[in-house]
Amino acid sequence: MDELSVTQLVSLKETMEKAHKEARYTEVLDILSRLRSWSPSADSLRQTKLGISLTGLKKSPHESIKQESMQIVRTWKDAVKPKGGSAAKTATPAAASTPGESAASPEAAKTGTPAATVKEEAAPAKSARTSVPVSTVRKKSETPMKVLTGPRSLKTDGIELPELDERQRDNVVKLFYDALASDSAAPADMIATRVMDVEEAVYKFYEGDTSGDYRQKTRSLLLNFKDKKNPALREAVVSGELSASKLASMKASDFSSEERKAEDRKLAEQNMFAAQSAAPAAGQAKTDAFKCGKCGKRECTYYQMQTRSADEPMTTFVCCIVCNNRWKFS
Protein backbone atom coordinates (compact mmCIF):
# COMPACT_ATOMS: atom_id res chain seq x y z
CA MET A 1 0.00 0.00 0.00
CA ASP A 2 1.07 3.63 -0.46
CA GLU A 3 2.99 5.40 2.24
CA LEU A 4 0.63 7.00 4.75
CA SER A 5 1.30 9.91 7.04
CA VAL A 6 0.93 9.63 10.79
CA THR A 7 -2.29 11.62 10.61
CA GLN A 8 -3.75 9.24 8.01
CA LEU A 9 -2.73 6.20 10.05
CA VAL A 10 -4.33 7.62 13.21
CA SER A 11 -7.51 8.31 11.26
CA LEU A 12 -7.46 4.75 9.90
CA LYS A 13 -6.99 3.37 13.41
CA GLU A 14 -9.91 5.38 14.82
CA THR A 15 -12.15 4.27 11.94
CA MET A 16 -11.22 0.64 12.59
CA GLU A 17 -11.90 0.89 16.34
CA LYS A 18 -15.27 2.55 15.75
CA ALA A 19 -16.26 -0.03 13.13
CA HIS A 20 -15.35 -2.88 15.46
CA LYS A 21 -17.29 -1.35 18.30
CA GLU A 22 -20.35 -1.11 16.04
CA ALA A 23 -19.86 -4.73 14.83
CA ARG A 24 -19.08 -3.67 11.24
CA TYR A 25 -16.63 -6.52 10.92
CA THR A 26 -16.33 -6.46 7.11
CA GLU A 27 -15.02 -2.90 7.28
CA VAL A 28 -12.56 -3.91 10.01
CA LEU A 29 -11.23 -6.76 7.87
CA ASP A 30 -10.78 -4.37 4.92
CA ILE A 31 -8.68 -2.03 7.08
CA LEU A 32 -6.64 -4.96 8.44
CA SER A 33 -6.01 -6.08 4.85
CA ARG A 34 -4.58 -2.65 4.06
CA LEU A 35 -2.46 -2.63 7.22
CA ARG A 36 -1.02 -6.06 6.39
CA SER A 37 0.78 -4.62 3.35
CA TRP A 38 2.06 -1.58 5.24
CA SER A 39 5.73 -1.52 6.22
CA PRO A 40 5.91 0.08 9.68
CA SER A 41 8.76 1.78 11.49
CA ALA A 42 9.31 1.92 15.23
CA ASP A 43 8.59 5.68 15.25
CA SER A 44 5.34 5.37 13.31
CA LEU A 45 4.09 2.59 15.60
CA ARG A 46 4.99 4.62 18.64
CA GLN A 47 3.21 7.74 17.40
CA THR A 48 0.07 6.05 16.06
CA LYS A 49 -0.25 3.32 18.75
CA LEU A 50 -1.54 0.99 16.06
CA GLY A 51 0.17 -1.95 17.77
CA ILE A 52 -1.82 -1.37 20.96
CA SER A 53 -5.05 -1.05 18.98
CA LEU A 54 -4.45 -4.34 17.13
CA THR A 55 -3.44 -6.10 20.33
CA GLY A 56 -6.84 -5.17 21.73
CA LEU A 57 -8.50 -7.00 18.82
CA LYS A 58 -7.29 -10.30 20.29
CA LYS A 59 -10.47 -10.20 22.37
CA SER A 60 -12.70 -9.75 19.32
CA PRO A 61 -15.69 -12.12 19.05
CA HIS A 62 -14.98 -12.38 15.32
CA GLU A 63 -12.45 -15.18 14.81
CA SER A 64 -11.07 -13.88 11.49
CA ILE A 65 -10.39 -10.44 12.99
CA LYS A 66 -8.70 -12.03 15.99
CA GLN A 67 -6.39 -14.20 13.84
CA GLU A 68 -5.64 -11.45 11.32
CA SER A 69 -4.75 -8.86 13.97
CA MET A 70 -2.44 -11.29 15.82
CA GLN A 71 -0.67 -12.18 12.56
CA ILE A 72 -0.16 -8.50 11.68
CA VAL A 73 1.26 -7.73 15.14
CA ARG A 74 3.74 -10.59 14.79
CA THR A 75 4.75 -9.36 11.34
CA TRP A 76 5.26 -5.82 12.60
CA LYS A 77 7.37 -6.99 15.53
CA ASP A 78 9.67 -8.83 13.12
CA ALA A 79 9.79 -5.79 10.84
CA VAL A 80 10.89 -3.29 13.52
CA LYS A 81 13.21 -5.68 15.35
CA PRO A 82 16.85 -4.51 15.01
CA LYS A 83 18.66 -6.57 12.40
CA GLY A 84 22.40 -7.04 12.63
CA GLY A 85 22.70 -4.39 15.38
CA SER A 86 24.22 -5.96 18.45
CA ALA A 87 25.02 -9.15 16.58
CA ALA A 88 26.97 -7.25 13.94
CA LYS A 89 28.96 -5.49 16.62
CA THR A 90 29.62 -8.82 18.26
CA ALA A 91 30.73 -10.43 15.02
CA THR A 92 33.17 -7.64 14.15
CA PRO A 93 35.80 -8.40 16.83
CA ALA A 94 35.49 -12.08 16.08
CA ALA A 95 36.09 -11.49 12.38
CA ALA A 96 38.97 -9.16 13.13
CA SER A 97 40.62 -11.85 15.19
CA THR A 98 41.42 -13.92 12.09
CA PRO A 99 44.46 -11.86 11.08
CA GLY A 100 45.57 -11.87 14.69
CA GLU A 101 45.50 -15.63 14.71
CA SER A 102 47.53 -15.76 11.49
CA ALA A 103 50.07 -13.35 12.94
CA ALA A 104 50.25 -15.37 16.11
CA SER A 105 51.04 -18.58 14.29
CA PRO A 106 54.76 -17.81 13.75
CA GLU A 107 55.08 -16.78 17.40
CA ALA A 108 53.39 -19.97 18.44
CA ALA A 109 55.81 -21.89 16.26
CA LYS A 110 58.78 -20.16 17.95
CA THR A 111 57.59 -20.62 21.50
CA GLY A 112 56.07 -24.02 20.97
CA THR A 113 52.68 -22.77 22.26
CA PRO A 114 49.77 -24.48 20.48
CA ALA A 115 47.66 -22.19 18.27
CA ALA A 116 44.56 -23.17 20.23
CA THR A 117 46.09 -21.65 23.38
CA VAL A 118 46.79 -18.37 21.61
CA LYS A 119 43.18 -18.26 20.46
CA GLU A 120 41.87 -18.89 23.99
CA GLU A 121 43.97 -16.02 25.38
CA ALA A 122 42.36 -13.54 23.01
CA ALA A 123 39.90 -11.09 24.60
CA PRO A 124 36.33 -12.49 24.46
CA ALA A 125 33.89 -10.69 22.18
CA LYS A 126 31.01 -8.80 23.77
CA SER A 127 27.91 -11.00 23.69
CA ALA A 128 24.80 -9.91 21.85
CA ARG A 129 21.77 -8.78 23.81
CA THR A 130 19.24 -11.59 23.90
CA SER A 131 15.75 -12.25 25.18
CA VAL A 132 14.75 -13.66 28.50
CA PRO A 133 17.69 -15.95 29.37
CA VAL A 134 19.44 -13.50 31.65
CA SER A 135 22.41 -15.65 32.59
CA THR A 136 24.61 -13.18 30.65
CA VAL A 137 23.05 -9.94 31.82
CA ARG A 138 26.30 -8.67 33.30
CA LYS A 139 28.59 -6.71 31.01
CA LYS A 140 31.68 -8.07 32.77
CA SER A 141 30.86 -11.15 34.81
CA GLU A 142 34.41 -11.52 36.12
CA THR A 143 34.66 -7.96 37.40
CA PRO A 144 34.14 -7.92 41.21
CA MET A 145 31.33 -5.73 42.50
CA LYS A 146 32.36 -2.39 43.92
CA VAL A 147 31.61 -1.45 47.50
CA LEU A 148 28.55 0.79 47.28
CA THR A 149 27.72 3.68 49.55
CA GLY A 150 24.15 4.03 48.21
CA PRO A 151 21.36 1.77 46.96
CA ARG A 152 21.99 -0.70 44.14
CA SER A 153 20.49 -0.13 40.69
CA LEU A 154 20.88 -1.17 37.07
CA LYS A 155 23.56 1.49 36.68
CA THR A 156 25.62 0.49 39.71
CA ASP A 157 25.35 -3.23 38.87
CA GLY A 158 26.45 -2.49 35.30
CA ILE A 159 24.03 -4.86 33.59
CA GLU A 160 21.65 -4.77 30.64
CA LEU A 161 18.19 -6.33 30.64
CA PRO A 162 16.73 -8.04 27.56
CA GLU A 163 14.62 -5.74 25.42
CA LEU A 164 10.89 -6.48 25.14
CA ASP A 165 8.43 -5.60 22.38
CA GLU A 166 7.25 -2.29 23.93
CA ARG A 167 9.08 0.61 25.49
CA GLN A 168 6.57 0.72 28.35
CA ARG A 169 7.38 -2.88 29.31
CA ASP A 170 11.11 -2.11 29.12
CA ASN A 171 10.65 0.82 31.52
CA VAL A 172 8.63 -1.35 33.92
CA VAL A 173 11.32 -4.04 34.27
CA LYS A 174 14.00 -1.37 34.79
CA LEU A 175 12.00 0.30 37.56
CA PHE A 176 11.25 -3.09 39.14
CA TYR A 177 14.97 -3.93 39.12
CA ASP A 178 16.00 -0.68 40.81
CA ALA A 179 13.33 -1.13 43.50
CA LEU A 180 14.14 -4.77 44.29
CA ALA A 181 17.92 -4.38 44.10
CA SER A 182 18.07 -1.25 46.28
CA ASP A 183 18.81 -3.11 49.54
CA SER A 184 19.34 -6.65 48.27
CA ALA A 185 22.52 -8.71 48.46
CA ALA A 186 21.30 -11.18 45.82
CA PRO A 187 23.24 -11.66 42.54
CA ALA A 188 22.26 -9.32 39.72
CA ASP A 189 21.24 -12.14 37.38
CA MET A 190 18.84 -13.53 40.01
CA ILE A 191 17.16 -10.14 40.46
CA ALA A 192 17.00 -9.68 36.68
CA THR A 193 15.32 -13.07 36.29
CA ARG A 194 12.73 -12.22 38.95
CA VAL A 195 11.79 -8.82 37.49
CA MET A 196 11.44 -10.30 34.00
CA ASP A 197 9.21 -13.07 35.38
CA VAL A 198 7.04 -10.64 37.36
CA GLU A 199 6.52 -8.29 34.40
CA GLU A 200 5.72 -11.19 32.07
CA ALA A 201 3.20 -12.61 34.58
CA VAL A 202 1.40 -9.26 34.83
CA TYR A 203 1.49 -8.88 31.03
CA LYS A 204 -0.12 -12.32 30.56
CA PHE A 205 -2.60 -11.76 33.40
CA TYR A 206 -4.04 -8.80 31.46
CA GLU A 207 -3.84 -10.70 28.14
CA GLY A 208 -1.17 -8.52 26.55
CA ASP A 209 -3.04 -5.25 27.05
CA THR A 210 -0.55 -2.73 28.45
CA SER A 211 -3.08 0.03 29.02
CA GLY A 212 -5.41 0.66 31.96
CA ASP A 213 -5.26 -2.31 34.33
CA TYR A 214 -1.66 -3.22 33.39
CA ARG A 215 -0.43 0.29 34.19
CA GLN A 216 -2.36 0.44 37.46
CA LYS A 217 -1.05 -2.96 38.54
CA THR A 218 2.60 -2.23 37.70
CA ARG A 219 2.40 1.11 39.53
CA SER A 220 0.94 -0.61 42.59
CA LEU A 221 3.71 -3.23 42.52
CA LEU A 222 6.39 -0.57 42.13
CA LEU A 223 5.11 1.46 45.09
CA ASN A 224 5.10 -1.64 47.28
CA PHE A 225 8.55 -2.76 46.08
CA LYS A 226 9.93 0.70 46.99
CA ASP A 227 8.30 0.78 50.44
CA LYS A 228 11.23 1.13 52.88
CA LYS A 229 9.09 -0.27 55.70
CA ASN A 230 8.45 -3.53 53.84
CA PRO A 231 11.84 -5.20 53.15
CA ALA A 232 10.23 -8.61 53.70
CA LEU A 233 8.23 -8.19 50.49
CA ARG A 234 11.33 -7.43 48.42
CA GLU A 235 13.16 -10.40 49.93
CA ALA A 236 10.23 -12.73 49.21
CA VAL A 237 10.09 -11.60 45.57
CA VAL A 238 13.84 -11.86 44.94
CA SER A 239 14.13 -15.26 46.63
CA GLY A 240 11.19 -16.63 44.67
CA GLU A 241 9.20 -17.36 47.82
CA LEU A 242 6.45 -15.14 46.38
CA SER A 243 5.83 -16.37 42.84
CA ALA A 244 5.37 -14.05 39.87
CA SER A 245 1.94 -15.48 39.06
CA LYS A 246 0.72 -14.84 42.61
CA LEU A 247 2.04 -11.27 42.54
CA ALA A 248 0.07 -10.62 39.35
CA SER A 249 -3.22 -11.56 41.02
CA MET A 250 -2.68 -10.14 44.54
CA LYS A 251 -4.68 -7.15 45.78
CA ALA A 252 -2.97 -3.97 46.94
CA SER A 253 -3.90 -4.66 50.59
CA ASP A 254 -2.16 -8.05 50.46
CA PHE A 255 1.26 -6.41 50.05
CA SER A 256 1.26 -4.61 53.39
CA SER A 257 3.77 -5.69 56.03
CA GLU A 258 2.52 -7.20 59.28
CA GLU A 259 3.45 -3.97 61.06
CA ARG A 260 1.41 -1.93 58.59
CA LYS A 261 -1.57 -4.29 58.86
CA ALA A 262 -1.49 -3.95 62.67
CA GLU A 263 -1.41 -0.16 62.35
CA ASP A 264 -4.35 -0.23 59.94
CA ARG A 265 -6.38 -2.42 62.32
CA LYS A 266 -5.64 -0.10 65.24
CA LEU A 267 -6.60 2.96 63.21
CA ALA A 268 -9.85 1.30 62.10
CA GLU A 269 -10.74 0.53 65.72
CA GLN A 270 -10.02 4.12 66.75
CA ASN A 271 -12.15 5.49 63.93
CA MET A 272 -14.99 3.15 64.82
CA PHE A 273 -14.81 4.17 68.48
CA ALA A 274 -14.81 7.86 67.55
CA ALA A 275 -17.81 7.40 65.27
CA GLN A 276 -19.76 5.36 67.78
CA SER A 277 -18.90 7.72 70.62
CA ALA A 278 -20.43 10.53 68.61
CA ALA A 279 -23.88 8.89 68.72
CA PRO A 280 -26.80 11.29 69.14
CA ALA A 281 -27.46 12.37 72.72
CA ALA A 282 -31.07 11.19 72.36
CA GLY A 283 -29.83 7.60 72.42
CA GLN A 284 -27.73 8.07 75.56
CA ALA A 285 -28.72 7.77 79.21
CA LYS A 286 -27.37 9.84 82.07
CA THR A 287 -25.98 7.95 85.06
CA ASP A 288 -23.74 8.20 88.12
CA ALA A 289 -22.79 4.52 87.96
CA PHE A 290 -19.48 5.26 86.25
CA LYS A 291 -16.60 7.26 87.67
CA CYS A 292 -14.47 9.28 85.24
CA GLY A 293 -10.84 8.27 85.46
CA LYS A 294 -9.73 11.75 84.40
CA CYS A 295 -11.66 14.17 86.63
CA GLY A 296 -13.11 11.73 89.18
CA LYS A 297 -16.72 12.91 88.74
CA ARG A 298 -19.70 10.59 88.46
CA GLU A 299 -21.67 12.58 85.91
CA CYS A 300 -21.71 10.55 82.71
CA THR A 301 -23.83 9.54 79.78
CA TYR A 302 -23.64 6.12 78.20
CA TYR A 303 -25.11 3.89 75.51
CA GLN A 304 -24.59 0.28 74.44
CA MET A 305 -23.98 -1.22 71.01
CA GLN A 306 -23.36 -4.70 69.62
CA THR A 307 -19.95 -4.35 67.97
CA ARG A 308 -18.94 -8.01 67.89
CA SER A 309 -20.71 -11.31 67.21
CA ALA A 310 -24.17 -11.94 68.70
CA ASP A 311 -22.88 -14.33 71.36
CA GLU A 312 -20.49 -11.67 72.74
CA PRO A 313 -21.57 -9.04 75.32
CA MET A 314 -22.50 -5.58 74.12
CA THR A 315 -19.94 -2.76 74.23
CA THR A 316 -20.72 0.17 76.57
CA PHE A 317 -19.60 3.64 75.46
CA VAL A 318 -19.29 6.20 78.30
CA CYS A 319 -18.75 9.97 78.12
CA CYS A 320 -18.01 12.24 81.09
CA ILE A 321 -20.28 15.30 81.05
CA VAL A 322 -17.76 17.37 83.04
CA CYS A 323 -14.50 16.90 81.10
CA ASN A 324 -15.74 15.13 77.95
CA ASN A 325 -13.48 12.14 78.60
CA ARG A 326 -14.61 9.06 76.67
CA TRP A 327 -14.01 5.35 77.25
CA LYS A 328 -15.59 2.00 76.49
CA PHE A 329 -15.79 -1.48 77.95
CA SER A 330 -17.61 -4.74 77.34
Q: What is the pTM of this model?
A: 0.40
Q: Which pLDDT value is given to residue 76?
A: 81
Residues 6 or more apart whose Cβ sits within 8 Å of residue 20: 28, 57, 60, 65
Measured CA to CA, the distance from residue 102 to residue 286 in angstroms comes to 106
Strand partners, 319: 301, 326
pLDDT greater than 80 at residue 126: no
* Residue type present at position 164: L
Beta bridge partners of 304: 316
Would the pLDDT of 48 be above 70?
Answer: yes
The predicted-structure confidence for 86-101, as pLDDT tens digits, reads as follows 444 444 444 444 444 4
CA-CA-CA-CA torsion sign (28, 34, 37, 40) = negative
> Is residue 323's pLDDT more than 90?
yes
Q: Which residues contact 14 (CB under 8 A, 6 or more apart)?
A: none
Q: How confident is the model at residue 66 (pLDDT cuts 50, 70, 90)?
A: confident
Q: Which are the contacts of 130, defined by CB distance < 8 A and separation ≥ 6?
A: 136, 162
| H-helix or E-strand spanning residue 188 | helix 188-205
Residue 304: what are its φ and ψ, rounded to 5°?
Answer: -120, 150
What span, in angstroms and rounded, lies between the C-alpha atoms of 64 and 195? 35
User: Residue 273: enclosing H or E segment and its boundaries?
Assistant: helix 258-277
What pLDDT is recorded for position 286? 85
Give the number of other CB atoms < 10 A from CB of residue 210.
Answer: 20
pLDDT tens digits, 247-292: 888 887 777 766 766 776 777 766 666 665 555 455 678 889 899 9
- Average pLDDT along the chain: 75
Which residue ranges form the domains of the chain, and what is each CATH number?
6-79 (1.20.930.10), 154-259 (1.10.472), 286-329 (2.20.25.10)
Helix (H) or strand (E) holding 54: helix 50-56
Query: Which residues are CB-neighbours of 153 under 8 A, at least 6 positions away?
Result: 177, 178, 181, 182
Q: Calculate Rg over the CA atoms of the chain.
A: 32
Please report the pLDDT score of residue 149 as a whole number.
59
pLDDT single digits (tens) 166-209: 889 999 999 999 999 888 888 988 999 999 999 999 999 988 88
